[in-house]
Amino acid sequence: MSRREELARAQEALVRALGTGGPIPEGFDAARVQAAADALLSKRRRGVRRAWPLVSAAMGEAFAADFNTWARAHPLEGVEPHAGADGCRYARALREGGRLPSGRAEEELMRFELRWCLTPEGGVVARRGWSARLWCVGPARRWVLGLRLPGGRLVRWGRRD
């Protein structure tokens, strides 16, 4: 194996250790790598907290620990990921697991999905034209129809709890 290939493997292992909490490769200071991984995870969590205030508020004190667990299992996508996209993936995972708090947090996800599309690179792109979503939201599990009209206006039909 050439020196270049060895370096590439060490870099790949380091990125895995920083992003997903994988094993720390030989030759690196474990305490420093762990500190850097913790700092990156904290930065990622703060970005999602700012981009998704209703979801993080609805999760309350459990948000930090729950997000950290989810983030370690779901590394960032793309070179320049978007906190809104990361938060959307997290909120979708909560919803699929039946753990997304009902009410305003559900509506925040619905509004995001009406306005934005996730890209494979980890970013977001604004939707164009019409967009519609039918959701079952709130503690009473009522149906809500959300529409994004051309020009960006959002309209919501359904009974509020």
pLDDT at res. 158: 80
pLDDT at res. 102: 82
Which DSSP string do the residues of 13-65 spell out, in sequence order? HHHHHHHH--PPPTTS-HHHHHHHHHHHHHHHHHHHHHH-HHHHHHHTTHHHH
In this structure, what token pair is assigned to residue 100?
């997304």
When pLDDT is averaged across residues 25-31 and rounded to a whole number, the result is: 88
Domain residues for 137? Answer: 3-158
pLDDT at res. 36: 92
Spatial CB neighbours of 25, under 8 Å, sequence gap ≥ 6: 10, 13, 14, 17
When pLDDT is averaged across residues 62-84 and rounded to a whole number, the result is: 88
Average of per-residue pLDDT values in the chain: 89
What confidence tens digit (pLDDT) does each residue in 34-54 have? 999 999 999 999 999 999 999
pTM score of the predicted model: 0.84
Strand partners, 146: 133, 156
pLDDT at res. 153: 87
11-32 burial code (b ≥16 CB/10 A, e <16)? eebbeebbbebbebbeeeeeee
Nearest to 20, CA basis, from 77, 61, 79, 95: 77
pLDDT at res. 4: 94
pLDDT at res. 141: 77
Pairing of strands 131-137, 124-126: unpaired
In the chain, the number of structural domains is 1
Torsion angle of alpha carbons 126, 131, 137, 143, nearest 10°? 170
pLDDT at res. 18: 86
